[in-house]
């Protein structure tokens, strides 16, 4: 059973690394395609953004992005960031801290004797 669980953990770990690499590669291809659709493959865009009044750096950045990439409207909501952080912390606690605390409560002689 222990060997099976070790093998399962290795398989899941490798699959996660492959999935993350594929997601990053896919995001790069998506960004290239969107840029090629907006500008064409051999064109340049020169834009002048004049600040009107006093703009914060966030407002100026939003203005620049909307002028350069008009079809790119992607913002991550705060609840998604909080949910991802909470799931990561819960997973770390459940799969990391909980087994360690359980193992620390065992008597070393009894734990080694069990097989």
User: Model-level pTM?
Assistant: 0.34
**What distance in Å separates the CA atoms of residue 68 and residue 50, rounded to the nearest whole number?**
14
Cα dihedral: 52, 56, 59, 64 (round 10): 70
Nearest to 49 by CA among 27, 30, 67: 67
Digitized pLDDT (tens) for each residue of the chain, 115 residues in all: 777 788 888 888 888 888 888 888 888 888 878 877 776 666 665 656 666 677 777 877 777 777 666 665 556 677 877 888 888 888 887 888 778 888 888 888 877 776 5
Q: Which two tokens stand for residue 85?
A: 């952080």
């Amino acid at each position: 059973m222990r060997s099976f669980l070790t093998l399962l953990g290795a398989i899941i770990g490798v699959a996660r690394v492959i999935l993350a690499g594929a997601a990053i590669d896919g995001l790069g291809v998506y960004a290239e395609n969107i840029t090629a659709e907006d500008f064409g493959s051999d064109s340049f865009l020169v834009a002048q953004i004049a600040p009107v009044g006093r703009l914060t750096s966030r407002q100026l950045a939003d203005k620049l992005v909307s002028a350069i990439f008009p079809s790119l409207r992607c913002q991550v909501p705060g609840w998604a960031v909080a949910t991802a952080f909470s799931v990561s912390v819960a997973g770390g606690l459940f799969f990391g801290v909980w087994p360690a605390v359980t193992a620390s409560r065992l008597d070393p002689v009894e734990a080694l004797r069990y097989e």
